Structure 1
C-alpha cells in the first residue's frame, strides 16, 4: 500500500516552504515518526516525520524546491522491503579486502546496540554531528567518546553505551539529527581494528595566543555552527581561540571573539578596489547563504513587489515618558518583578491608535479586507540567524507589566533560538526598534500579510521650539510604513499622530483620548 507524505500545517499566513534537507533516499527503510526531511519557512524550520513504516518509494519534491501547504513530498511503500543502496559507511564490494570481510563477519556475530542522541536539554530539539572520533570497524570501550554533537548552546559528547566494534555510522559529520535519533550501531563483544595511535596522527600547528606562549592544537575540523557564526560575524579563523577538544572552535568562541575589541587597522591608502582587479580573488571569501537568510530575502522582496508600500514620518518628544518612567520604575519593578521599558508604552500607544484607524490593523485576502478586532502585536527581534517577529497576543487587553514580561521572554527565546512557530504566528501589526542599534531614521519594511509596521529610532537630544522658547528635548523620529492598497494617506497620518500624542502625554492612554 502506498502512503503519501504531505507538507504539514505551516501555520497561519505561511503560504510556502522550501525543502531544505532529505534525511532518507528512495529505497531506504523508514520507521513511523522517523524524520524524512526538513522544510524551511520564513519563520521556522519544520521537520516532516514518516506517517508509516515501510520503504521510501519516491521523493516528489527535491531539495531547494518551494512547496505549498499540503503539497505532496514523497511516497512510502508500506509493504515494501528496503532494496536501496548499502549503508553509507560501507565500501563497495569490489573494494573490500579479505580482512575487511572477516572483520564484517566478526562484527555481525555479536549483539547490536544502538547509539542514540543523549539528552540535549529542555526545548533543544536538534543537534549537528560535529566530529566522529571513531571509524567504522574500530574497537570501542564502554563510555569511550564516539562523537561530538553541536547544539545552539553547547557541545555534547556521546559515549559508547557498550564495548565492541563500531559497526555502522548512521549520521555523518554535518548531519542534523533530532533529539531521539540513532547515531550509530555497535556490535557488542566483537573484535575490531585496533584504534590508531594518537601520537602517530595529526599534524599540529601553532595559534598565536597573544603575548604568552603560542598554543599548539591538532589540525581538527571546527564546529559547523562556529564556521557559520564566523561567516555571519565577519570574524576570521585566526581571530578565534578554540575552547573545544584539541583546540576546536565552538560557536561560543566566535561570540567572544566578535565581542572583543579589535585593534584599529590603518585605513587603506587607495580607492575602493574593483572586483576584477588582479589578485583580489585571494582576498575574497564566498560563503553560501543559509536557507533562513535566503527565505528572509525572498519574503522581503515579495513584500516590496506585492504591497503598495509607503512610509510617513513624525517625531515624538520623549520627555513625558522618561519622566514618568524615572518616577515609577523602582516601584514598578518591585511590584511586578520586571523592568519598565519604553516598549510597553509604544505597544499601548499603537493599540490605542489602531482602534481609531482599524485599516492599519487589517489585511487583504484576495478581493476582501479582513479587519481584526484584536491586536496581536509583533515585536521584531534581531538574532544571530536573522530577524524574527514573535507575537504578543491580545496586547490591547494587557497591562504594562504583562506586556513587558512577554516581550522580555520572547526576546530571550528569539536570541536563544527557542521560539516556536506558534509564538511567531498571527501578528496583526509590528513594531521594529532600530534605535537599539543607533538608527536615527529608517523606513521599515512590511511583514506580510500585515498592512502596517511602526519603526522606533534612537532618542536624541535636539533643540526644539516650545512656547516660543528654544529648549533641548529628547526626540525620537517615528516611521509608519503601510500598504497604500488598504490604508489611505489620511489614515496613516492620523495613526502616527495618535501614537505621537499618546507618547508625549501618556495620561491620554488612561483616559482613552
Structure 2
C-alpha cells in the first residue's frame, strides 16, 4: 500500500511553493522523516520529510513545478529497495560474475552514478562545478545531510589552485565542459528561483514605493577591536561562542532606535506603527540568495545571546534549514557587506521596515586626531531610510549615536 506525500503547511500567507530538487529517486529506500524533496517558497527552502519508511515511489511533479499546500507530490511504497533480477540470479561460482554481465554492469553503474550526482546538486552548485572545473565527487559537503553547497565548491577550487599540480581524476561533467573549443562564447539560461524572484520584486518595490535616501559616517573601530582582543578568549570560554563585531553594532543600533523611534517604525496605510521593542533582521547569505532572519528582542539580550543567534542563523542559512518563523517580522535591518570586501554601499530597506544599517570593511586610514595625523582602523557605515517617515535630522542623529557607541563601547553599558 502506498502512502501519499503532500505539500506541508508553509507558513502564514504562503500558499504555494516550487519543487527545488528531488532528494530521493524512485526505488530509493526512505526512512521515516527522511527528506525526499526540497521546496522553494518566497522566503526559504523547505525540506519535505517522508511520513513513513519504505521505498520512494512515483514523483507526481517535476523540478520547477509550482505546487499548492496540500497537493500530492509523491508516494512512498511499502517494503525495502530490492536489487535487480540480474544481481540476484544465483551463480555456480559466486566469486566470479559472468563476463557479459560484468561488461554491461559497469556502464550502467557509471550512468546511474552520474545521474544521481547531477540530481543531488542544486543548479547553483552545478554552475559552480562547471565554472571552477572541480570534480564534485571529491568534495565533502557541509550542507544538510552532507550535500554540497556553492561555498564548498569554491573552497575546493581555491584549495585545488593552491595545491601542487597532480594528475586529474576523470570527471565526466568537467570533461564535457572543457571540450568546448577555446575562445567560443557561451551563454546559459537558468530559470530564477522563486526566492530570487521575490527578492527582485521586493527590492524593486522598495525603490518604487519608498523615498529612499542614504546618510554616511565613518567609525574608528579601535575601541571595539581592543575590547575583542582583550576579552575574546574569556568570552569564548564562558559562552562557547566567538565575540564578533555584529554584537556591538546590534547593541549600538538598539540605543539609536530607542532614542529615535521613527527609525524603528514603519508606515502602514495612512498610519505610522511604532514599536517599543527592537527586532533586528540580519542579512545572511544563503545558497539560494539573501535571507534576513530576525534577532527578536535584541534590546533585551546580551552580547552572548545575540552572537549565538547570529551564528545559529548563519549555520542554518547555509544548510537551508531556516523556517518562515525565523524571518517573520523585524523592525530594523543590519547588512554587513564588509565580509565580502565592500568599502561603501547604499543598502536598500527591507519592506515594510523604514531603515537599514550597512556595515563595510575595516581598513587602516590616516585620520586627524587632536591635531595630529594618525593611522586608525576605520569603517564607513551607511543608513538608508524612508524619507516619507524619517527626517534627515533623525537619520543623521541615529547614525551618529551608533558611531559614538562603537567608538566608546562603555556607552552601551550605561545606556548613553
- Relative to the length of structure 2, the TM-score reads 0.72
User: Superposition pairs for residues 291-310 of structure 1, below 5 Å?
Assistant: 291-310=194-213
Whole-Å separation in 2 of the counterparts to 1:348 and 1:378: 13
Which ranges of structure 2 fall in alignment gaps of 5 or more residues?
1-7, 40-44, 89-100, 140-145, 163-181
Secondary structure class of the residue paired with 1:220:
helix
SS in 1 for 2:114: coil
Query: Of 120, 133, 137, which residue of structure 2 is paired with 1:242?
Result: 137
8 Å CA contact 1:240, 1:254 repeated in 2:
no
Partner of 2:75: 182
Matched, 1:252 2:148: yes
Paired with 2:57 and 2:16, the residues of 1 have a C-alpha distance of 28
Alpha-carbon spacing, 1:470–1:263, altered in 2? closer, same or farther (3 Å) = same
How many Å separate the matches in 2 of 1:172 and 1:447?
36
The within-5 A match list for 1:101-180 is 117-119=30-32, 125-127=35-37, 169-171=57-59
Root-mean-square deviation (Å): 4.2
CA distance in structure 1 between the aligned counterparts of 2:331 and 2:76, rounded to whole angstroms: 43
Structure 1's unaligned 5+ residue stretches are: 1-6, 22-37, 39-44, 46-88, 90-113, 130-150, 162-167, 206-215, 245-249, 265-278
Structure 1 117/181 Cα, relative in aligned 2: closer, same or farther at 3 Å?
farther
Cα distance in 1 between the residues matched to 2:113 and 2:81: 32
Tell which structure's C-alpha radius of gyration is larger.
1
Select which of 318, 324, 334 maps to 2:221. 318
Contact 1:117/1:182, CA 8 A, preserved across alignment: no
**Residue 277 of structure 2 aligns to a residue in which SS?**
coil
SS at match of 1:430: strand
Residue 171 of structure 2 corresponds to none
Q: Retained in 2: the 8 A contact 1:116–1:181? A: no
Pair 1:347 & 2:250 matched: yes
Answer yes or no: is the 8 Å Cα contact 1:241–1:253 preserved in 2: no
**Shift in Å at residue 184 of structure 1?**
3.8
SS at match of 1:283: coil
2:312 is aligned, of 390, 409, 414, to 409
1:200 aligns with 2:104: yes
Cα pair 2:125 2:148 within 8 Å, conserved: no
User: Which residue pairs with 1:233 in the alignment?
Assistant: 128
Q: Is this contact kept in 1: 2:129–2:135, CA < 8 A?
A: no
| Distance 1:257-1:376 versus aligned 2 partners, 3 A rule | closer
- Secondary structure of the 1:493 match is helix
Contact 1:230 1:236 in 2 (8 A): no
**Residues 239 and 320 of structure 1: is their aligned pair in 2 closer, same or farther, counting only changes over 3 Å?**
same
1:332 aligns with 2:244: no
Matched with 1:108 is none
Instruction: Name the counterpart of 2:346.
Output: 443
> In structure 1, what is the Cα distance between the partners aligned to 2:318 and 2:341?
19
Bigger fraction of residues in strand: 1
Distance 1:173 1:364 in 2: 41
Aligned-pair CA distance for 1:227: 4.7
Distance 1:464 1:188, change over 3 A: closer
Structure 2: how far apart are the matches of 1:388 and 1:181? 28
The aligned length equals 352
Where does residue 20 of structure 1 map in the other structure? 18
Residue deviations 1:195-220 (CA, integer Å, cap 9, x gap): 89563367589xxxxxxxxxx87773
Aligned residue number for residue 220 of structure 1 = 114
Moved more, 494-503 or 229-238: 229-238
Q: 1:395 to 1:194 in 2, by over 3 A?
A: same
Paired residues of 2:294 and 2:327 also in contact (CA < 8 A) = yes
Distance 1:308 1:198, change over 3 A: farther
CA contact (8 A) 1:376 1:391 kept: yes
- Alpha-carbon separation, structure 1, partners of 2:107 and 2:17: 39
- Secondary structure (helix, strand or coil) at the match of 1:223 reads helix
**Matched residues in 1 for 2:361 and 2:245: separation?**
12
State the secondary structure of the residue aligned to 1:242: helix
1:506 shift after superposition: 0.7
Deviates more, 1:402-411 or 1:251-260: 251-260
Q: Which residue of 1 aligns with 2:405?
A: 502
Whether the 8 Å CA contact 1:223–1:251 is kept in 2: the answer is no
| Cα distance per residue 1:341-381 (max 9 Å; x no partner) | 11111000000000111001001110000001100011111
| Cα distance in 2 for residues equivalent to 1:355 and 1:253 | 39
